[in-house]
Structure 1
Amino acid sequence: MPTSRTGRPPVQRAPRRPPAPRPPRDNPVARLYGRARRAWDRPLTAYYLILGGSLLITVLGLVMVYSASQITALQLSLPGSYFFRKQFLAAVLGGLLMLAASRMPSKLHRALAYPILLGSVFLMILVQVPGIGVAVNGNQNWISVGGPFQLQPSEFGKLALVLWGADLLARKQDKRLLTQWKHMLVPLVPVAFMLLGLIMLGGDMGTAIILTAILFGLLWLAGAPTRLFGGVLAIALTLGVILIRTSPNRMARLACLGATEPGPGDSCWQAVHGIYALASGGLFGSGLGASVEKWGQLPEAHTDFIFAITGEELGLAGTLSVLALFAALGYAGIRVAGRTEDPFVRYAAGGVTTWITAQAVINIGAVLGLLPIAGVPLPLFSYGGSALLPTMFAIGLLIAFAREDPAARTALAMRQPRFGRKRAAVRGSAVRGPRKWNTMRRRASARSSGER
């Protein structure tokens, strides 16, 4: 045995361990994507998207209505804030309707279906009575309710068709009658055609298109066969072509698709100046209130073409923000409709989502020159109290449906309140602890639910 110089045996050294592999570097993009996906999948995502998105659209719409309507009001010898004050009043009333609808149970929503339908039909009949109905821009779809306020009953017809159609299809599904084509079509399609006829008596084809989109949305959600769905679509397209070909005004609007010049007799004046407004905005716009087109060049600047003024004053960034808000609202509505087991909630949420999405697409498509000018406002954004009130009530429906989801209901019940109450002793007693709130948090584990 070999020894060292000191006479001691050499020290046996342990073999070296291979170096531990370094942990892979955390990819910040992957980490951000994972966090966004987890947040997107939370039970309250749809609830917050609907509530926050609708409020942001409404507030931004108020700002743009004030900016776009000042010149028009001054030209009519009115105060510059005239249209803004009316829209603000409608937004306050609509907010109360939205709050009330968001707190109603589904049974009460279903109970309101028939009264809203009958009331809408009655008001649309009154529109055609001489001395009661009021014509605006050639369309007789308004009723004067006193002073400067007017009511457009056809806007409430959209809400009526959504609620009544959803209740009808839900009851038939409970009885397993939707497998028969006659139960799927009757009386849904005849009642929808009756509403369309009353609307078309006043010449408002834009609102009729939105109502048709709601009808097809309900049929699609009900699982209509392809042949049945295609047959109803063919009938609607045939009627639409006849109504367009028999109206010189509608044919002129159709001829302005893709126009870059006003054309003979300035027939495409509005469509072209809408493009001019968007083109002059650039990336970030000319500044809030600095629009040129609203100085009498662009008709209906604060109503149907408010998106063009938004593009001119806020630029591409502003228009993309509006599009993103509508996309988030549409996604949230589809999510609510897809995750529920209640047939009424599915049909009503799908109908409301179809209504708002189709109307936004038609309005923005017309401003961009991709679709004919249909004369429909941008939901929650354009000026018009008659359009804002039923739309905000419909948003309240979506909020109520999002809250009724079992996972969302549990998450809302377990939320920790932001502020606790502390009471100081008045007669020499110690300061008490935070108030115990009556929530499920006290009986839950210490692990956070992650829902905010």
Structure 2
Amino acid sequence: MLDRPLTSYYLVLGCSVMLLALGLTMVLSASSVKQLQETGSAYTLVQKQAMWMALGLPLMWAASRLPVKGFRALAFPMLLLSVGALALVLVPGLGRAAGGATRWISLGPLQIQPSEPAKLGLVLWGADLLARKEKLGQLTEWRPLLMPLLPGAGLLVLLVMLGNDLGTTLVLLTIFLALLWVVGAPARLFVGIAGLVALLVSILIVVEPYRMQRLTGFLDQSGNQLTFNYQGTQGLYALASGGLTGTGLGEGRAKWDFLPHAETDFIFAIIGEEFGLVGTLVVLGLFGLLTYAGLRIARRVKDPFTRLAAAGATAWLAVQAIVNIGAVISVLPITGIPLPLVSYGGSALIPTLIALGMLLAFAKREPGARQALAARGPGPLSRALSWLGLGPRGS
């Protein structure tokens, strides 16, 4: 089964749909109590999440049908838009702080987190840049390899750092390192850049008191359980109370004002409480299959841009899931980044869906995939249109 041409396509599509369905269900469960207290309706956040999903799914579908040259044409404009939007976050009156980081732009009732589409912008721009350099044979020395990729990625990282968003900084640096790895950067250069990244992250932690408190709390989890370690401790309690099969959907107790940010950063804890160990293993399995499919696409396609973009997007989603889940199970410090496709938030959901649509488009370019799609015949939408007399007529 795994050697079939469309394996990657169906894995990406199937895992995405199942994680989306799970996410919508768990956003309702995790947010219902708090929203009922604050707004009088238990459905406030799930309705917003459904609206974001309704906007994101057509964009995912459009991305899955976009040719490679379309993604390459969008690369530089998306990078410029990301830089401009991240700069607006730092403007007094526009940027809004939450959880120690300034991540949001307030536009009336609408709030946007520009650092999320910046991840997609870096993937596309970095892949396009390195693909052009590879075609020109300019990747044999470190200077043409890093210029202007390093300054461009550095500018995005700097703008995110100025907003004190360490979690997104880590993801952007991961995308940068993944692009270097896939393009075949010399081991000495890769190790040196990775060392600089580790040094930068260490400096970011040391210079910000609340990050140091989170780190020291992570290293000594037995103390400060009512202050710095409160969220992590409550997350572990939720996971532990779920047992093997969980308390049942909607029956969790952690969301009753015990666990902060249950619908965003710690939604995995609610999954563990209500679906137990079995539920958490299913989520891990879905992300594992999604990562496998993305790496399979990157390995099997022949076009350099497609290979780089697929690897960069896969690294982004996989590392973000690892960091989020690692924080919930207390093997990593809490950084405040969402679980892809599952956590509440449109700013994160829509770029993620576009990236998955891009992976679907690339999966169609694997060897034998086009022939398999053609042999499959018309899809259900085409058949429905033909029944209504609206489909394409035969010759």
- Per the TM superposition, whether the score is higher than 0.5 is yes
Alignment of 1:310-389 (within 5 A): 310-389=271-350
Aligned residue in 1 for 2:181: 220
**What is the alpha-carbon distance in structure 2 between the residues aligned to residue 116 and residue 322 of structure 1?**
31
Asked whether 1:88 is paired with 2:45, we answer no
- Using the TM superposition, give the Cα deviation of residue 77 of structure 1 relative to its aligned residue in structure 2, in angstroms: 3.1
**What is the alpha-carbon distance in structure 1 between the residues aligned to residue 230 and residue 364 of structure 2?**
46
Higher relative contact order (CA 8 A, sep 6+): 2
Aligned residue in 2 for 1:290: 251
Q: Deviations over 1:218-249 (max 9, x none)?
A: 00001011110111111111111111112221
- Using the TM superposition, give the Cα deviation of residue 79 of structure 1 relative to its aligned residue in structure 2, in angstroms: 1.7
Aligned residue in 2 for 1:3: none
Q: SS state of the match for residue 266, structure 1?
A: coil
Asked whether 1:267 is paired with 2:219, we answer no
Q: Where does structure 2 lack aligned partners over 5 or more consecutive residues? A: none
Aligned residue in 2 for 1:35: none
- Using the TM superposition, give the Cα deviation of residue 164 of structure 1 relative to its aligned residue in structure 2, in angstroms: 0.2
Aligned residue in 1 for 2:153: 192
Aligned residue in 1 for 2:106: 144
- Using the TM superposition, give the Cα deviation of residue 76 of structure 1 relative to its aligned residue in structure 2, in angstroms: 2.1
- Using the TM superposition, give the Cα deviation of residue 253 of structure 1 relative to its aligned residue in structure 2, in angstroms: 1.3
- Using the TM superposition, give the Cα deviation of residue 393 of structure 1 relative to its aligned residue in structure 2, in angstroms: 0.3
Aligned residue in 2 for 1:165: 126
Aligned residue in 1 for 2:69: 107
**Structure ID, larger Rg:** 1
Aligned residue in 1 for 2:203: 242
Percentage identity across paired residues of the two chains: 52
- Using the TM superposition, give the Cα deviation of residue 285 of structure 1 relative to its aligned residue in structure 2, in angstroms: 0.4
Which of the two has greater helix per residue? Answer: 2
For residues 239 and 416 of structure 1, do their structure 2 counterparts lie closer, same or farther at Cα, with a shift above 3 Å needed?
closer
Aligned residue in 2 for 1:67: 29
Q: SS state of the match for residue 143, structure 1?
A: strand
- Using the TM superposition, give the Cα deviation of residue 327 of structure 1 relative to its aligned residue in structure 2, in angstroms: 0.5
Is the CA contact (8 Å cut-off) linking 2:300 and 2:367 kept in structure 1? no
**What is the alpha-carbon distance in structure 1 between the residues aligned to residue 294 and residue 139 of structure 2?**
23
Question: Alignment RMSD, CA only?
Answer: 2.0
Aligned residue in 1 for 2:89: 127
**What is the alpha-carbon distance in structure 2 between the residues aligned to residue 277 and residue 97 of structure 1?**
35
Aligned residue in 1 for 2:162: 201
Aligned residue in 2 for 1:412: 373
Aligned residue in 1 for 2:9: 47
**What is the alpha-carbon distance in structure 2 between the residues aligned to residue 290 and residue 143 of structure 1?**
35
Q: Deviations over 1:248-278 (max 9, x none)?
A: 2111211233665462652200111111110
Amino acid at match of 1:277: A
For residues 175 and 233 of structure 1, do their structure 2 counterparts lie closer, same or farther at Cα, with a shift above 3 Å needed?
same
**What is the alpha-carbon distance in structure 2 between the residues aligned to residue 40 and residue 158 of structure 1?**
29
Is the CA contact (8 Å cut-off) linking 1:258 and 1:370 kept in structure 2? no
For residues 259 and 85 of structure 1, do their structure 2 counterparts lie closer, same or farther at Cα, with a shift above 3 Å needed?
farther
**What is the alpha-carbon distance in structure 2 between the residues aligned to residue 413 and residue 87 of structure 1?**
35
Q: SS state of the match for residue 142, structure 1?
A: strand
Q: SS state of the match for residue 96, structure 2?
A: strand
**What is the alpha-carbon distance in structure 2 between the residues aligned to residue 406 and residue 209 of structure 1?**
34
**What is the alpha-carbon distance in structure 2 between the residues aligned to residue 189 and residue 114 of structure 1?**
15
Is the CA contact (8 Å cut-off) linking 2:100 and 2:210 kept in structure 1? no
Q: Where does structure 1 lack aligned partners over 5 or more consecutive residues? A: 1-38, 424-434, 440-452
- Using the TM superposition, give the Cα deviation of residue 102 of structure 1 relative to its aligned residue in structure 2, in angstroms: 0.4
Is the CA contact (8 Å cut-off) linking 2:94 and 2:107 kept in structure 1? no
Is the CA contact (8 Å cut-off) linking 1:258 and 1:369 kept in structure 2? no
**What is the alpha-carbon distance in structure 1 between the residues aligned to residue 144 and residue 102 of structure 2?**
34
Q: Deviations over 1:170-203 (max 9, x none)?
A: 0000001011111111110111111011001111
Q: SS state of the match for residue 414, structure 1?
A: helix
For residues 168 and 255 of structure 1, do their structure 2 counterparts lie closer, same or farther at Cα, with a shift above 3 Å needed?
same
- How does the TM-score come out when normalised to structure 1? 0.83
Amino acid at match of 1:53: C
Q: Deviations over 1:398-438 (max 9, x none)?
A: 000001224011000011458889x9xxxxxxxxxxx9997
Amino acid at match of 1:190: P
**What is the alpha-carbon distance in structure 2 between the residues aligned to residue 97 and residue 245 of structure 1?**
40
- Using the TM superposition, give the Cα deviation of residue 137 of structure 1 relative to its aligned residue in structure 2, in angstroms: 2.4
Aligned residue in 2 for 1:444: none
- Using the TM superposition, give the Cα deviation of residue 130 of structure 1 relative to its aligned residue in structure 2, in angstroms: 1.2
For residues 182 and 438 of structure 1, do their structure 2 counterparts lie closer, same or farther at Cα, with a shift above 3 Å needed?
farther
